[in-house]
Amino acid sequence: MIDSGDPPDDSRPGPLLDLITGPEDLRALGHAELVRLAAEIRAFLVRSVCRTGGHLGPNLGAVELTIAVHRAFRSPHDRIIFDTGHQATPGGHAPGAGRRAGHRRDGGGRPGGGDG
Cα–Cα distance between 2 and 49 in angstroms, integer? 22
Cα–Cα distance between 35 and 56 in angstroms, integer? 19
pLDDT of residue 23: 86
- pLDDT (tens digit per residue) in 80-90: 887 665 555 56
Q: Where are the domains of the chain?
A: 16-101
Q: In the chain, how long is the greatest CA-to-CA distance?
A: 42
Burial class of 95 by CB neighbour count within 10 A (0 to 12, 13 to 18, 19+): buried
- The predicted model scores a pTM of 0.62
CATH for 16-101 (3.80.30.20, 1.10.3720.10, 3.30.70.120, 3.40.50.970) = 3.40.50.970
- pLDDT (tens digit per residue) in 8-59: 445 666 789 899 998 889 889 999 999 999 999 999 999 988 898 877 887 7
